[in-house]
Amino acid sequence: MTEAERATRLLPVDALVDALPRVDLDPHQARLLVTGRAVRGQEAASVGLIRVYGPQQAFLGVAEVRPPDLIVARRLLAQAVCTGATGGCK
């Protein structure tokens, strides 16, 4: 099997949590969540585990909604760190 054929058979990483409700965060909320802070989530209609997405629909990981509307990170993917004007991402 060629590399291109193998790539077509790969599923996106968020396929594992596809059954969880999806919540999209704005850039500010996403930044807070990936740095370990809880965020208020007006969209989060139910309590429990959710999958969270940041800017450009990037999958951030799994979070938990706690009453009344608090979103707390549970397991997040490593995110690239960009230094802005210097142009470097790690």
For residue 72, count other CB atoms closer than 10 A to its CB: 14
Evaluate the omega torsion of the peptide bond into residue 68 and state whether it is cis, within 30 degrees of 0.
yes
Q: Is the pLDDT of residue 90 over 60?
A: no
Q: Is the pLDDT of residue 79 over 90?
A: no
Q: Is the pLDDT of residue 85 over 70?
A: no
pTM (predicted TM-score):
0.79
CB 20 within 8 A of CB 50: yes
